[in-house]
Structure 1
Amino acid sequence: MTSTTTSSPAPADLVLRDARIHTVDPALPAAEALAVRDGRIVWLGADADAGRWTGEGTRVLDGRGRLVLPGFIDAHNHVRLGSDDACVQLAGAGTLDEIHARIRAWHAAHPGAEWIEAEAFDYSAIPGGRMPHATDLDPATGDTPAFVLSYDVHTAWLNTAALRGLGIDRDHTELPFGQAQTDPETGEPTGFVKDFAVKGLSRDGHRALRDLGVPWASPDRQYGRLAKSLDDAIGYGITTVVEPQNSLDDLALFERARAEGRLRSRIVAALFHPRGTSEADLDDFAAAAERFADDRLRVGPLKLYIDDVVEPRTAALLEPYAGCGHHRGETFYPADEFADLLAELDGRGFQCFVHATGDRGIRTVLDAVEHARSVNGPRDARHQVVHVECLDPRDTPRFAELGVVACMQPRHCAPEIAGPGKDWAENVGAGRWHKAWPMRSLHEAGAVLALSSDWNVAEMDPMAGIYTALTRRPLGGGEPWQPGETLDVETAVHGYTMGSAYANFLEDERGSLTVGKLADFVVLSRDILRIRPQDIPGTRAEVVVVGGETVVDEEAVVGDESVVGEEASGRAAV
């Protein structure tokens, strides 16, 4: 076994010995030991040589033959939204009756609550394939206003009392936090609000909700969600989190977490660019990127939307939704306008994360990147298409050709979430299932895959994502869906490490265990590179090291084969 080093042996701060290190670095794919000094890796090699790096004051970590990987980099994780303990949890509630039962139980336990708030409702729980109405909530909530978020946080569901309390009526449906849907016959608001992710999660939308007295939007509740999610992230071995959608106001939450010692994972925070963002806003974004630019908290990329989501039929498709006449969804910008916008942002040097789920939405983004390159000239921009749920095969090679990263979430394509019988698969129709999350096709075409959780739309645990990427089977086992698009385990691990590092301009510092890089790594309870895919779920991060400091160790992990955190039982909220 060869080794690499930055200097002649001298006592290191930390030495990891007797490990099976998968470095994700082709120059030295495997090692048995490594040494750390001043937060960075200074040596990797054979265990027999590790003693030369050990001296007085050196901490020695016994790997006990376990698998060691680079710390996971979750390229799209809404830690700031998180999962809210003050909300009724509706994940797994498959019927309206079950939703009612959970809300009634919560309300009985909190009889003085001024608001009933819930998260993670699944569209498929509403009978008849329709979107929910206020009258569906009223029997369980009575006169207490109710604010319920869908699992993807792209829509909100209000009861009659909330419509009244928030001032929503037939003359007031354009809201700071979304678009209230109306009954086509009466013109009255139904209680269903779309575009919540685009408007309600913006600075103005959040302020409006807070000013209207919705507790979910209060700063203390926001910080509670962030702190809990950060604890879960480090427990899973996620040493870098990319938080994809923040306003300038939200950055204070990360500063507080850092001051209080809760920022154990490194953060990359993207700033939200809603429609109407001004030149002055862009100047403020650029100033924030200069202010927050260290290896613990970095600000810089911009988050945009071109379409919405498939489940409520608001993603932009090339052909109409199955059984919906001529309806094929809309883009938030006309194609030419979006192309000019992206060219402007690209010209100012911004990296853009663009939410796109439908095949027409994705094509619109790729066309815009092509336009930006023609206007500004090619540059290493690494713009991302985020989600890539329904991709036309003609657009697959364009990712590599244009240098566009595919930021994807393997759990989204699990059969129990999006497969046959679920709203995603039924709305798209069987004739387009071959377009669903084509991870293998993109990889084979040379695209960079940055894999992620999209917590709390799905489980944060990378083991759940890796398992799904390998099998496209339900988490509890069962038949695969579109198994031709599975990945091998090395490719999936690369997507959660070096792929996500590259996607965020971090490849010189993170993503592999390489001499000179930050000493961020995880020791796993099972060797996921060798075990059967069905045995990957439940694998724990027994030791987590960030910058050479052990932030999680075995004694901090509860349970034999449990998964850290409470969200791993199924598709969670946002």
Structure 2
Amino acid sequence: MAIAAHPAHLVLRNARIHTVDPALPEAQAMAVVDGRIAWIGSDKDAQGWTGPDTRVIDAGGKLVLPGFIDAHNHVRLGSDDACVQLSGARTLDEVHARIRAWRTSHPDAEWIEAEAFDYSAIPGGRMPTAGDLDPVTGDVPTFVLSYDVHTAWVNTAAMRRLGIDRDHTGLPFGEAATDSTTGEPTGFITDFAVKGLSRDGHRALQTLGLPWASPDRQYGRLTKSLDDAIGFGITTVVEPQNSLDDLALFARARAEGRLRSRIVAALFHPRGTTDSDLDDFAAAARRYADDRIRVGPLKLYIDDVVEPRTAALLEPYAGCRHHRGDTFYPPEEFASLLTKLDARGFQCFVHATGDRGIRTVLDAVEHARAVNGPRDARHQVVHVECLDPDDTPRFAALGVVACMQPRHSAPEVAGPGKDWAENIGVGRWHKAWPLRSLHTAGALLALSSDWNVAEMDPMIGIYTAVTRRPLGGGEPWMRQETISVEAAVHGYTMGSAYANFLEHERGSLTVGKAADFVVLSRDILRAAPEDIPGTVVETVVVAGLVEHGG
């Protein structure tokens, strides 16, 4: 037994600690000094670390895990209480009903804003139009975000306010779709995540008076999401897409005591980013580089999303003779760009959902290694939704992280009858979110929620990774790509820590690391899989301080 020279500030005892550290896989007790783990071992030895001022947490025999690290969580987008909530609205009639109800409660609103629209609510597999909104919105400009925030849907009044007409479809905040016959804009806007969430796009929306884009609304979404994160035991949040303007929101949250989780903020690199911008990004990384807010990775897009058929596929979409989506950069240009960023030492998070998009990213990393030489870059392919089996071993071979969101693979989200599965076609379903194939091939999995695209709760992500079943139970979809509970927990802890160069500080309960841990209401390592989603986080400790429960 190690005898403490000074009593610990906090002692955890009577616990079943799953450390995620192969050197000491399990323990019963832990001592924390100055925010770090000073000792970990058996209950009988914990008394040597306990003094009159030591805070003692009796875990009651419950499971203790490292704090969750959500490797892709849009806490700045969050969910907005000022918006009509369309989550779960499965038909256009239900969308209309929710908008009508909101208008009744807000008769003087100058804008109607809504979020979490599901593409499948529109009959016939088509994309929505202004004509679908006009009957229930009238002359009040209306702005609706899809559940994945990759597209927007506006009414005729909003098109007037936003300056959208047949001569102005290439917008600072997206691309306005046009009718193939008339050439008139339809009211559907693609590329919103790429352009609308950029610095220039967001500023344009602010100038045009869209309330959703205002700083106060942004801060409200951020703080609400941060409160949710700590309640779910997420002790480190990786916010994957920010402009330099957005960093002030995190600094404000910290100054006001609202930043209880740690933050890693990636900076958005849209097309047109200059060398001067890169210098500014590097300066921001130097300015924000402590254990609470760290800035540094770059976020890029190579393709869009499968549901509106804007992801890049190797073969045409189901039911199409030729259309297979496109990449935002020609492959050679993207390879040159990634090589340049790699040479400057940047880590890149690249959104890629389609098999051709993913291959383009892997080819670019391979090119960068050939030109610059191998380095521990830990570039990430984010989402990895439709992966060709030929590319599976390339992740481990190239040292590329697979940053994935298990919940996206749930049958009720993307399975048979949903737009994702129907657009890909049954012949390619074996490519869908291949967690087990990647894990078996030695790829590093960094798991995450992609909030607010999906639920933030890691228990839901772990359940889906383990079962591939609907949240309410039922038949699994692509069961062969499930992984074990232990592997899923690793993906939400050590996997995500390593993916973000944090493995020496977080991700496991190891002496010397930050004392970030959670106490769960249920032992998910031993529970029936169907009980995992009902598990709650009873206590959350960050840097040795109880931030939730206790």
Q: Please give the TM-score of this superposition, normalised by the length of structure 2.
A: 0.99
Deviation by residue 1:99-148 (Cα, 9 ceiling, x = unmatched) = 00000000110000000000000000001100000000111111100000
Does residue 228 (structure 1) correspond to residue 224 (structure 2)? The answer is: yes
Amino acid at match of 1:134: A
Deviation by residue 1:267-310 (Cα, 9 ceiling, x = unmatched) = 00000000000000000000000000001000000000000000
Does residue 60 (structure 1) correspond to residue 56 (structure 2)? The answer is: yes
Amino acid at match of 1:403: G
Distance 1:318 1:187 in 2: 29
Amino acid at match of 2:211: P
Distance 2:407 2:224 in 1: 21
8 Å CA contact 1:10–1:52 kept in 2: the answer is: no
Q: Of the candidates 334, 337, 341, which is equivalent to residue 333 of structure 2? A: 337
Does residue 21 (structure 1) correspond to residue 17 (structure 2)? The answer is: yes
Aligned to 1:560: none
Does residue 292 (structure 1) correspond to residue 282 (structure 2)? The answer is: no
Aligned to 1:261: 257
Deviation at 1:56, TM superposition (A): 2.2
Q: Of the candidates 448, 463, 466, which is equivalent to residue 467 of structure 1? A: 463
Q: Of the candidates 257, 270, 278, which is equivalent to residue 274 of structure 1? A: 270
Q: Of the candidates 429, 449, 454, which is equivalent to residue 450 of structure 2? A: 454
Q: How does 1:169-184 map to 2 (within 5 A)?
A: 169-184=165-180
Aligned to 2:137: 141
Distance 2:154 2:396 in 1: 43
Deviation at 1:324, TM superposition (A): 1.8
Q: How does 1:46-195 map to 2 (within 5 A)?
A: 46-195=42-191
Deviation at 1:10, TM superposition (A): 2.8
Q: How does 1:384-423 map to 2 (within 5 A)?
A: 384-423=380-419
Does residue 358 (structure 1) correspond to residue 354 (structure 2)? The answer is: yes
Distance 2:436 2:232 in 1: 25
Distance 2:529 2:136 in 1: 42
Moved more, 250-259 or 53-62: 53-62
8 Å CA contact 1:148–1:158 kept in 2: the answer is: yes
Distance 1:65 1:150 in 2: 43
Deviation by residue 1:134-193 (Cα, 9 ceiling, x = unmatched) = 000111111100000000000000001001111110000000000000001000000000
Distance 2:230 2:493 in 1: 15
Does residue 484 (structure 1) correspond to residue 445 (structure 2)? The answer is: no
Does residue 371 (structure 1) correspond to residue 340 (structure 2)? The answer is: no
Deviation by residue 1:409-465 (Cα, 9 ceiling, x = unmatched) = 000000000000000000000000000000000000000000000000000000000
Unmatched 5+ stretches in structure 2: none
Distance 1:10 1:204 in 2: 54
Distance 2:52 2:287 in 1: 38
Aligned to 1:546: 542
Q: Of the candidates 295, 308, 312, which is equivalent to residue 312 of structure 1? A: 308
8 Å CA contact 2:4–2:48 kept in 1: the answer is: no
Aligned to 2:503: 507
Aligned to 1:517: 513
Does residue 218 (structure 1) correspond to residue 193 (structure 2)? The answer is: no
Aligned to 1:383: 379
Distance 1:440 1:9 in 2: 46
Q: Which runs of 4+ in 1 moved over 6 A?
A: none
Deviation at 1:332, TM superposition (A): 0.1
Q: Of the candidates 225, 236, 241, which is equivalent to residue 237 of structure 2? A: 241
Q: Of the candidates 410, 425, 433, which is equivalent to residue 429 of structure 1? A: 425
8 Å CA contact 1:301–1:353 kept in 2: the answer is: yes
Q: How does 1:525-540 map to 2 (within 5 A)?
A: 525-540=521-536
Amino acid at match of 1:540: V
SS in 2 for 1:397: helix
Deviation by residue 1:527-550 (Cα, 9 ceiling, x = unmatched) = 000000000012111000000000
Aligned to 1:200: 196
Deviation at 1:9, TM superposition (A): 4.7
Unmatched 5+ stretches in structure 1: 555-574
Distance 2:275 2:221 in 1: 31
Number of aligned positions between the proteins: 550
Distance 2:153 2:498 in 1: 38
8 Å CA contact 1:315–1:357 kept in 2: the answer is: yes
Amino acid at match of 2:68: F
Amino acid at match of 1:168: I
Deviation at 1:39, TM superposition (A): 0.3
Distance 2:125 2:13 in 1: 56
RMSD over aligned Cα atoms: 0.7
Aligned to 1:566: none
Aligned to 1:558: none
Deviation by residue 1:215-236 (Cα, 9 ceiling, x = unmatched) = 0000000000000000000000
Question: In percent, how many aligned pairs have the same letter?
Answer: 82
Distance 1:477 1:8 in 2: 49
Amino acid at match of 2:133: L
8 Å CA contact 1:18–1:65 kept in 2: the answer is: yes
8 Å CA contact 1:70–1:511 kept in 2: the answer is: yes
Amino acid at match of 2:334: F
8 Å CA contact 1:15–1:33 kept in 2: the answer is: yes
Q: Please give the TM-score of this superposition, normalised by the length of structure 1.
A: 0.95
Deviation at 1:325, TM superposition (A): 1.8
